[in-house]
Amino acid sequence: MISALTIPEIDVRNPEIDVRNLCVLVTAGASGIGRTIAESFVAAGAKVHVTDVVESTLAATIDAVPGLTGTIGDASRAEDVDRVVVDVSARFGGLDLLVNNAGIAGPTGRVDELTAADVDRTIDVNLKSQFYFLERFVPFLKDSKRNPSIIGMSSVAGRVGYGFRTPYSATKWAIVGLVKSLAIELGPLGVRANAILPGGVQGPRMDRVIAARAEAMGLSFEEMRNEFLRKISLRRMVEAKDVANLALFLASDLARNISGQIISVDGNTETA
């Protein structure tokens, strides 16, 4: 199995992130971090397929990024994920990298005030979806001869506690356990698995998170934003491109011996 994998020699004087023609699937890739990852891989010469639940966003992204293809669907619905298998099989006939990126912020509030529906939805989208994609695409990855791997999108909330966002944090810690276990299970078959833990990524989603938290804490938006930045050693938010850069590295042969790792891209967030 693993001995059958041929890993190209790396020129140590001039190491290169080479993902040309790698077959990549990014869930929830029509906007946000997923889109930036998809665009970065396309720009680097990979073949990329994305999924997304919002049809108009998906259509606009496919239009804007030459070569990108996509499947409409909810990552937390098994029937929708089945359709992704059909499309990916037709386009690639296999897969080298699965980026399990789909995730929602979930509800903000005290644990005893959350609705069961909100908690369930967060678990379905953030965690169950990853199992749906793994169940269907791990067989493809096992057959890949291109240093196959899985990236599970966790969060800084999967490394530290995150009061008032308990469903989100619980699912993001769960992804850490999932990825570490996958690395053990799939390592002997030559498939690597790593988690990326982004900090707050600059953009509308982060603004919504800050606004919701400000309301829960009785603070203004600006006060809450400053509270966020005070806890980041580098005193700045992350950009989606920072996350995509790590994904490119992890997918490449430069990372051929990196598996089971939980890697933060968060400016060193000291506490939540």
Ligand X SMILES: NC(=O)c1ccc[n+]([C@@H]2O[C@H](COP(=O)([O-])OP(=O)(O)OC[C@H]3O[C@@H](n4cnc5c(N)ncnc54)[C@H](O)[C@@H]3O)[C@@H](O)[C@H]2O)c1
CB of 42 to ligand X, least distance (A): 17
Nearer to ligand X, 147 or 214 (CB): 214
Nearer to ligand X, 23 or 125 (CB): 125
Nearer to ligand X, 125 or 214 (CB): 125
Nearer to ligand X, 4 or 117 (CB): 117
Cβ contact 156:133 at 8 Å: no
Cβ contact 70:30 at 8 Å: yes
Cα–Cα nearest to 32, from 129, 88, 119, 103: 103
Type and span of the H or E element at 49: strand 47-52
Whole-number Å distance between alpha carbons of 147 and 228: 38
CB of 93 to ligand X, least distance (A): 24
Nearer to ligand X, 146 or 150 (CB): 150
Cβ contact 72:55 at 8 Å: yes
Return residues touching ligand X (CB under 6 A): 28, 30-34, 51-54, 57, 74-76, 101-104, 125, 153, 155, 198, 200-201, 205-206
CA dist 146 to 29, 75, 92, 221, 262, Å? Answer: 22, 25, 13, 46, 22
CB of 148 to ligand X, least distance (A): 21
CB of 203 to ligand X, least distance (A): 6
Active-site residue (options: 133, 140, 164, 168): 168
Give yes or no: 132 in active site: no
Bridge partners, residue 192, by sequence: 149
At 230, list the tokens. 């005070």
CB of 120 to ligand X, least distance (A): 13
Identify the burial level of 116 via C-beta atoms within 10 angstroms of its C-beta, where 0-12 means exposed, 13-18 middle and 19 or more buried.
exposed
Going along 94-247, which residue ranges are E strands? 97-100, 149-153, 192-198
Q: Which residues are known to be catalytic?
A: 168
